[in-house]
Structure 1
Amino acid sequence: MKVLVSVFNNLFTDQRVEKVCRTLSENGYEIELIGNSWGGLPEMSRPYLFSRIPLKSQSLKLAYPEFNWKLYKILLNKADRNTILLSNDLDTLLANYLVSKKLGIPLVFDSHEIFTEMPAINGRFTQRIWRSLEQFIVPKLEFMMTASESYADWFEGTYGIKRPTVVQNFPAGIENPQNYSEINQKKIILYQGVINPSRGLDKMIPAMKDMENTEFWICGDGPRKDEYLALSKSLGMEEKVKFLGKLLPEKLREITKKADVGLSIEENNGLSYFYSMPNKVSDYIQSRIPVVVSNFPQMGKIIDRFQAGEKINHHDELAEKINIVLENGKKFYEHALNKASEELCWEKEEPKIISLFKKIKK
C-alpha cells in the first residue's frame, strides 16, 4: 500500500518524519515523502522516494497557502484508491483533507505539537485563522497521531474526538556511549534545537555569569540567533557561550555525548510548549547525559520517574540546578539514564504506528 507523506519543511533535519517513514517502509509500505524548499535544498538521501516542492514566496504567510495549493495538485495526481495520506502538522492538513474527501481515501494526521498554541502565533490574527482550520477539520478526522500524552489529552478534550495514538519522538536506542574516564576541563552545558522565542536561552546566557569553569554550547539555528549573539557579546560572554550552528544528526550525536548536562528549559508561553515532550530530552538521555528541564507535565515526569537530572520551576533556579548536576557528575546518573534510555526509545514507539496503519489498511 502506498503512503504519501507531506510536511512543511525541506526534510533535511526532521527526524520524526524520517523515523515514521523508515518504520513504514521497513514494514512493507511504499513511501513517498513530500516537503518543500523553505530553508534551502540541502543534498540528502533516503531509502524511499522523496521530493521537495519549490516555493517562490518569501514570507511564511504567503508560503503556507502556496505550498498547500501545490501540494493539493500533487497529491491529487499521485494518489489512488490504494493510498493512505499522512499529513504532518496543521500547515499541511488542508490539502490532505481535501484530497482525502475528494478521492475517498484514508488520512492520518500527525500533530507534532499543538500548532494553534505555539508562542510564535499566540495572540496574533494568524492564530485565529489556524484555529478556524483546526476546528473545521480535526473533529472530522478518524485517524490521528500526536507526540505527547498531554497533547492527546488536549485534542480529545478540546474537540471531543477519539484519543489520538501517542507516538513520542524518541531516538533509536543505543548502547551507553560514555567513557567516564574522560573528564572535560571545562564543564559543557548543552542546548540543542531551534533558536526560537520562549526556549529559555535569553535566561540561560545571563545565568552563565554564575557558572564557573563552564561553557554553554548552543546547537541549532533560528530567528533569535542574532539577538542572542548580541546578548552574549553585551554581557562579555563570547568565550563562554558557543553557537555551533545547525548540525547533521550524526554530528550532533557526537557533540551531545561530550556534554555534562543537557537543557530543555522552555517557558510557559503557550500550551504547545507546556505540554511538550521535546525531542532533545530523549536525545540527551540516549547519550546518557543528565538533564535540567522545565517542570512541565511531560518533562517533569521524566525526572520524577527516572531521577535523570533536575527540574526548575523558575528560570532564576537555572544556575543552582545545573550546578547540582555538574557537581554530581555524569557517572552519578549512569544507572538512571540507562534505565530511562531503555524506555524512551523509538523501538517502544514503532509498534503503535504499525498497529494504527494495519487498522487503516483493513
Structure 2
Amino acid sequence: MKVLVSVFNNLYTDQRVEKVCRTLSEAGYDIELIGNNWGGLPEMQRPYPFSRISLKSKSLKLAYPEFNWKLYQELLKKADKNTILLSNDLDTLLANYLVSKKLRIPLVFDSHEIFTEMPAINGRFTQKIWRILEKFIVPKLKFVMTASESYADWFAKTYGIERPTVVQNFPVKIENPQNYSEINLKKIILYQGVINPSRGLDKMIPAMEEIENAEFWICGDGPKKEEYLALTKTFGLQEKVNFLGKLLPEKLREITKKADVGLSIEENNGLSYFYSMPNKVSDYIQSRVPVVVSNFPEMGKVINRFQVGEKINSHNELAEKVNIVLERGKIFYEDALNKAATELCWEKEEPKILALFRKVTQKHF
C-alpha cells in the first residue's frame, strides 16, 4: 500500500513527520514524502523516497497557494488506486482533499496544532481565509489524527466529527543519559524551539536578573530573534543569555541533556498554544531534565501526574519557579523523570497510528 505524505516545510527538522513515516515504512507501507524548499534545501537521508517542491514565492501568503497548486499536480502524478494520502496540517489539506475526491482514494489528516488558532495569525485577515478552508473540508473528513487530547476534543466539538486519533509527538525512548556527578558551574536554563511571538521568551530574558549563577540558552531561530537580542542588550544580560541558533537534531539532543531545567512557557494568545503539548516538554523529559511550564491543560497534566517540575500561572512567577527547580537539582527529579520518560515516548504512540491505517485500509481496500 502506497502512502503519499505531504508537509509544508523542507523536511529536515520535522521530527513528527519523520517518526510517522518511519513507523509506517517499518510496518510495510510504501512511503513517499513530499515537502518544499521553504527555509532552504539542507542535505538529508531517509530510508524512503522524498522530494521537495521548489517555491518561487518570497512571502508565506503567496507560498501557501503556490505550494498547494504544485502539490496537487504532484499528487495527481504519483497517486494511484492503491494510495493513501497523508496531509500534515491545514496548509497541505486543500491539495490533498481535491486529489482524494478526484481519484476516490482515502485521505488521512494529521493536524499538529489548531492552525486557525495560532497566535501568528490571530486577528488577521488570513485567519478568516484559513477558517473558511478548515470549515469547508474538516467536517467531511473520516480519518483525522492530532497531537493532543485537547486538540482532539476541540475538533470533535467544533466540527462534529468523530473524535480524532491522538498521536502525541513524543520522542523515541532512550536510557537515562544523565551523569549526575557532572555539575554545571553555572546552571543552564534551556528553551528549544522557534523564536516566535507568545513563547514567553520576552518575559524570561528580564527574569534572568533575579536568577543567580545561571545562563539562559535559547536554541532555535525565528522572526523574533533580533528583537530578543536587542532586549537582552537593553537589560545588559549578554553574559547570561545565549542565542545558540538553529541546531541539527542530534546536536540539540546533546545540548538538551546538559540543561538543569527546560522551559515551555507559552502565553495564552490562542487555543493552539493553550491546548498544546509541545514537543520540547517530552524532549526535556526524555533527556531527564526537569521542566517549568505554563499551567495549560496538557502541560499541567504532565506536572500533576509525574511531578517532573513546576507550573506557572503567570509569567511573573518565572524566576521563583525556575529557582525552585534549580535549587532542588536534577537528581531530585530522577525517579519522576524516569517514570515519565517510560510513558511519554514514541513507542507508546506507534500502535495508534498503525491501528488508524489498518482501519483506512479495511474500509477502502
Q: What is residue 15 of structure 1 aligned with on the other side?
A: 15
Aligned mates of 2:39, 2:244 — CA distance in 1:
18
1:169-188 map, 5 Å = 169-188=169-188
Provide structure 2 residue ranges, at least 5 long, that are not aligned to the other structure: none
Q: What is residue 82 of structure 2 aligned with on the other side?
A: 82
Aligned mates of 2:235, 2:58 — CA distance in 1:
34
Aligned mates of 1:120, 1:174 — CA distance in 2:
34
The 3-state SS of whatever aligns with 1:257 is helix
Aligned mates of 1:26, 1:206 — CA distance in 2:
47
Q: What is residue 311 of structure 1 aligned with on the other side?
A: 311
Shift of 1:127: 0.4
Q: What is residue 297 of structure 1 aligned with on the other side?
A: 297
Q: Percent identity?
A: 85
TM-score, with length taken from structure 1: 1.00
Aligned mates of 2:14, 2:214 — CA distance in 1:
30
Q: What is residue 41 of structure 1 aligned with on the other side?
A: 41
Shift of 1:170: 0.1
Q: What is residue 163 of structure 2 aligned with on the other side?
A: 163
The 3-state SS of whatever aligns with 1:144 is strand
CA-to-partner distance for each residue in 1:123-177, whole Å, 9 max, x for gaps? 1100000000000000000000000000000000000100000000000000000
Q: How many residues align?
A: 362
Q: What is residue 6 of structure 1 aligned with on the other side?
A: 6
Q: What is residue 355 of structure 2 aligned with on the other side?
A: 355
Shift of 1:361: 1.0
Q: Which letter does structure 1 place at the counterpart of 2:245? A: G
Aligned mates of 1:314, 1:283 — CA distance in 2:
23
Aligned mates of 1:44, 1:229 — CA distance in 2:
30
The 3-state SS of whatever aligns with 2:334 is helix
Q: What is residue 283 of structure 1 aligned with on the other side?
A: 283
Provide structure 1 residue ranges, at least 5 long, that are not aligned to the other structure: none
Q: What is residue 56 of structure 2 aligned with on the other side?
A: 56
Aligned mates of 1:241, 1:350 — CA distance in 2:
38
Shift of 1:95: 0.1
Shift of 1:189: 0.1
Q: What is residue 139 of structure 1 aligned with on the other side?
A: 139
Shift of 1:234: 1.2
Q: Which letter does structure 2 place at the counterpart of 1:53? A: I
Aligned mates of 1:223, 1:50 — CA distance in 2:
28
Q: What is residue 258 of structure 2 aligned with on the other side?
A: 258
CA-to-partner distance for each residue in 1:198-218, whole Å, 9 max, x for gaps? 000000000000010000000
Q: Which letter does structure 1 place at the counterpart of 2:165? A: T
Aligned mates of 2:224, 2:262 — CA distance in 1:
20
Aligned mates of 2:56, 2:26 — CA distance in 1:
35
Q: Which letter does structure 1 place at the counterpart of 2:187? A: K
Shift of 1:353: 0.3
Runs of 4 or more off by more than 4 Å in structure 1?
A: none
The 3-state SS of whatever aligns with 2:258 is coil
Q: Which letter does structure 1 place at the counterpart of 2:335? A: H
1:209-358 map, 5 Å = 209-358=209-358
Q: Quick check: 1:91 aligned with 2:94?
A: no
The 3-state SS of whatever aligns with 1:41 is coil
Aligned mates of 1:50, 1:222 — CA distance in 2:
25
Aligned mates of 1:239, 1:63 — CA distance in 2:
39
Q: Which letter does structure 2 place at the counterpart of 1:274? A: F
The 3-state SS of whatever aligns with 2:331 is helix
Q: Which letter does structure 1 place at the counterpart of 2:30? A: E
Aligned mates of 2:212, 2:357 — CA distance in 1:
51
Q: What is residue 27 of structure 2 aligned with on the other side?
A: 27
The 3-state SS of whatever aligns with 2:319 is helix
Q: Which letter does structure 2 place at the counterpart of 1:149? A: E
Aligned mates of 2:186, 2:95 — CA distance in 1:
50
Q: Quick check: 1:190 aligned with 2:190?
A: yes
TM-score, with length taken from structure 2: 0.99
Q: Which letter does structure 2 place at the counterpart of 1:277? A: M
CA-to-partner distance for each residue in 1:189-247, whole Å, 9 max, x for gaps? 00000000000000000000001000000000000001001110111111110000111
Q: What is residue 111 of structure 2 aligned with on the other side?
A: 111
CA-to-partner distance for each residue in 1:291-332, whole Å, 9 max, x for gaps? 000000000000000000000000000000000000000000
Aligned mates of 1:178, 1:38 — CA distance in 2:
36
Q: Quick check: 1:154 aligned with 2:138?
A: no
Aligned mates of 1:251, 1:29 — CA distance in 2:
30
The 3-state SS of whatever aligns with 1:197 is coil
